[in-house]
Chain A
Amino acid sequence: MSETSHHPRFDLASERVGTIYAKALYGAADAAGSLDVVVEELASLVHDVLDKHPLLANAVVSPRITHDERLQILDKAFAGRMSPTLLTFLKVLSGHNRLYCLREIQRAFHLLVGEKRGRVDVKVTSAQPLSEQSFASVSARLRETLGKDVEVLTSVNPALIGGLIVRIGDTVIDGSVAHQLENIRHQTLSAAAQQAKDALERFTTSET
């Protein structure tokens, strides 16, 4: 039975809730002076605990478990191992029945902290895994152009054939060979069609 199985769905409403709670968490953690710890712990909670133990994730989200029971689970699992700010935050989420947005909150929190610290996430896709040297030069170049600290996430897609695709937020800088080949294909096709049409017209106009 996988009634609440996690499925990486994109939900606009949770996304919005995530932004709001992320702001609140940022304020609380900043005031408590434990921002770095909270960033690290939240990321680890989502990636190392919830992602690896879906049963726990389901238990945390399930509406069959009451708020009081959840408080006990949270205390048992995390008290003493987690900064008090984050634990309190989780309890607040549980009270508001918003624990299901934890992933969105983590994502928004990550972006928010990055923004405050002048750091951006950049996704770099290449046809083959980047060598350490080229990774370093790409990162340095991105840092220089954007004037910000960059966190480079790499991925590999052999369909690119060669070159790089860099994605910063919603902007995509496409320097892949596959894309250029596609462009050449379009241009040659339209040019050839145009020429053929012109030739045909020359033919018909000379007729009349």
Chain B
Amino acid sequence: MKFNADEIASIIQQEIQQYESQIDVREVGTVLEVGDGIARVYGLSGIMAGEMVEFPGGVNGLAFNLEENSVGVIILGDFLSIKEGDEVKALGKLLSVPVGEAVLGRVVDPLGNPLDGMGPIQTPHSRPVEYLAPGVSERKPVTEPMQTGIKAIDAMTPIGRGQRELIIGDRKTGKTAIALDAILNQKETGVKCFYVAIGQKDSSVAAVVEILRQHGAMDYTTVIVAGASAPAPLQYVAPYSGTAMAEYFMFNGEHALIVYDDLSKQAVAYRELSLLMRRPPGREAYPGDVFYCHSRLLERSSKLSDALGAGSLTSLPIIETLEGEVSAYIPTNVISITDGQIYLQPDLFFAGQRPAMNAGISVSRVGGNAQIKAMKKVAGGLRLDLASFRELEAFAQLGTELDPATQARLDRGYRMVELLKQGQYQPMNVIDQVFSIYAGTRGHLDEIPRVDVLRWEREYLDFIHAKHSDLWDKLSEAKDLTSEIGDGMESAIASFQSTFVPTKQEEF
């Protein structure tokens, strides 16, 4: 491809001919001091809170603190090029990011600039980063399921489209893995996914992008990155700009899923900004409005009414706890904002139960409304059963003689725990999930050795797909466990059981 010099010269000539001399009227101020991603500016007397300003060299900022005779500005970009005495120009508009189909498959920074070296993002649309959440009359109850493809979650803490489900746990307990599985499972569902990485190592973000790409999930996913080396202002705005990109789809009647990984880092960035701006510190030195910071963000996830196109935005915020401390400030705040939480525990994780979800204290406040009928029927009492099994298990460890009924409940519990284990990046179809959980809750696994449960499940599902695909199709169509399908399952299990060979247990 060669550029024709004449062509370009003619364009420039046209531009000059069309140029109308306009007198530029602007509101200005002067930089008094600058550092740590913030600047204090004298002047700008007519500026509004949240308005964009421009520093020399094209770096943008946001008016954050309006004081008696100065303005605190957070700098979105390179603050090292700004000097004392620089002229700051008010732009009279709000921060906005490019949105639309063009952002899908891209890795961008919180201002919408591409980071993946695939050229500029060409889209005519943009949305303000800060946007008021839909009101009461613009919403509708959450009823459609948003399948994560993880048995434990879809069965026990189902997530609906438009819900906000918190993923909380210590470091290295598989929080990101759950969110990624949920994204991978949105293939062919038309749900657009957004992964907002805040304050993470750039190497982990690169790994996430690589996983998404390998599994073909980048086609419908946007990754918004404000890495650990990004200045605090960018880390602070990253979730809002990700939400703005996702909202575009929601307001166009489509469905979107957004993962904030993780909000505790965003809170830390916000604390840093607030302290630098000399806002009074509160509990754990967080500013008083850190709750509002998260509530206005998560409130933007919603299920819109039919009049507005019935689009939805589901969010999976992630919070990292320290030593399982859920009663710290940020975890309690976000728990109270969200519609339920998935609580991951390190001891379960190291005991080999992955996902390491604690069924007893994980909840989904939307509940069974967000499940297909068949799943609701097979997994109805599963969560409570598992929670009571955990108690019983602790009791049984005392070594007392158990009556046969208790022993039977223990056996069932062990097998359900085993059945709910699932490998990473292997999301399961919800119909498959119904087949396998049905077998577990109806006691068909009670006689199978514990080590064989996952193999049994795998072979059983292969068997169903090979020999009983009509039954599978029927269930997938009806989405309900009719007595006919139930009978079909019973007979399928019976015929499979006769062919299953348990592993020989070696005696030690």
Given A196-B3, A196-B8, verify A170-B28 contact (CB < 8 Å).
yes
Interface size on A, residues (CB 8 A): 27
Given A169-B45, A192-B11, verify A175-B23 contact (CB < 8 Å).
yes
Interface-side segment among A76-84, A124-132, A183-191:
A183-191
Does A171 contact B32, Cβ atoms closer than 8 Å? no
Query: Among B15, B26, B29, B32, which residue has its beta carbon within 8 angstroms of that of A191?
Result: B15
**Which residues of B are found within 8 Å of A187, using beta-carbon distances?**
15, 19
Q: Tell me the complex Cα distance, A172–B49, Å.
A: 21
**Which residues of A are found within 8 Å of B19, using beta-carbon distances?**
180, 183-184, 187
Q: Tell me the complex Cα distance, A197–B40, Å.
A: 39
Does B23 contact A173, Cβ atoms closer than 8 Å? yes
Given A170-B28, A170-B45, verify A184-B16 contact (CB < 8 Å).
yes
| A180: min CB distance to chain B, Å | 6
| B88: min CB distance to chain A, Å | 10
Residues A83-110 near B (CB distance < 8 A): none
Q: Does A12 belong to the interface (CB within 8 Å)? A: yes
Q: Tell me the complex Cα distance, A183–B26, Å.
A: 14
Max chain B C-beta neighbours (<10 A), residue from A10, A170, A173, A187: A170
Residues B46-63 near A (CB distance < 8 A): 46
Q: Does B470 belong to the interface (CB within 8 Å)? A: no
Query: Among B12, B24, B45, which residue has its beta carbon within 8 angstroms of that of A192?
Result: B12
Does A199 contact B25, Cβ atoms closer than 8 Å? no
A-B contacts counted at CB < 8 A amount to 74
Closest-by-CB residue of A relative to B32 is A10
Closest-by-CB residue of B relative to A180 is B21
Residues A153-182 near B (CB distance < 8 A): 167, 169-175, 179-180
| A103: min CB distance to chain B, Å | 15
Q: Tell me the complex Cα distance, A179–B24, Å.
A: 8
Q: Tell me the complex Cα distance, A170–B46, Å.
A: 8
Residues B223-269 near A (CB distance < 8 A): none
Q: Does B43 belong to the interface (CB within 8 Å)? A: yes
Binding site for B on A (CB under 8 A): 10, 12, 15-16, 19, 167, 169-175, 179-180, 183-184, 187-188, 191-192, 195-197, 199-200, 203
Extra 8 A-B pairs, beta carbons < 8 Å, given A12-B69, A169-B45: A12-B40, A15-B69, A167-B28, A174-B23, A180-B19, A192-B11, A192-B15, A200-B1
The 8 closest A-B pairs by CB, nearest first: A174-B24, A188-B15, A175-B23, A170-B43, A188-B12, A170-B45, A172-B28, A173-B25
